[in-house]
Amino acid sequence: MKINWGTSIVIAFALFITFILYFVFKVQSNPKYDNELVTEEYYKKELVYSKQMEKEQNAADMIVNVLVFRTNEGIVIVFPATIDIAKIKGKVSLYRPSNQKLDFEVPISLSSPHLLIPKSNLASGLWDISVDWTYDGKEFLKKEKINY
């Protein structure tokens, strides 16, 4: 049996398509490859984006802003010393882009102007940190990316 070049091209395309489909089905059916969304309820979060922008602008308008930095003990969040820390309410959200299972939140309750998130709670890698807080009825939002 003799195969001409047209038949060879069709066979090559069929083998290539089969090869690609094999890997697509393998990735979709294997639980090792987690195909989750980056964040839950993505569209609901998108609707509140303008509110977040307003909070970020309030934080940018402050003379002394919240500082977020890495130390050997963990991540430290320092609030301005000029404000009454007893009136600060809010939460710190730590978001891990590579693994949703590591995300967590810490409520803000201060006895001094700084908040420490211990190193034991943090896996090494990139963390997106959002400090969402209110002071005297005004809302603020500070976002940082830290590689720990």
| pLDDT of 108 above 70 | yes
Most confident among 10-19, 22-31, 72-81 (mean pLDDT): 10-19
Mean pLDDT of the chain: 86
Extract the tokens encoding 3: 């195969």
| pLDDT of 39 above 70 | no
Greater model confidence, 2 or 133: 133
- Predicted confidence at residue 121, as pLDDT, reads 83
Q: What's the average model confidence in pLDDT over 99-108?
A: 88
**Nearest-CA neighbor of 78 among 87, 90, 86, 68?**
68
Residue 10: CB partners within 8 Å, gap ≥ 6?
A: none
Extract the tokens encoding 140: 């603020």
Extract the tokens encoding 13: 């395309």
Q: For 114-130, how does the pLDDT look when each residue is reduced to its tens digit (9 = 90+)?
A: 888 898 888 888 999 99
CA distance 120 to 139: 30
pTM of the model: 0.65
Cα dihedral across residues 116, 120, 125, 131: positive or negative: negative
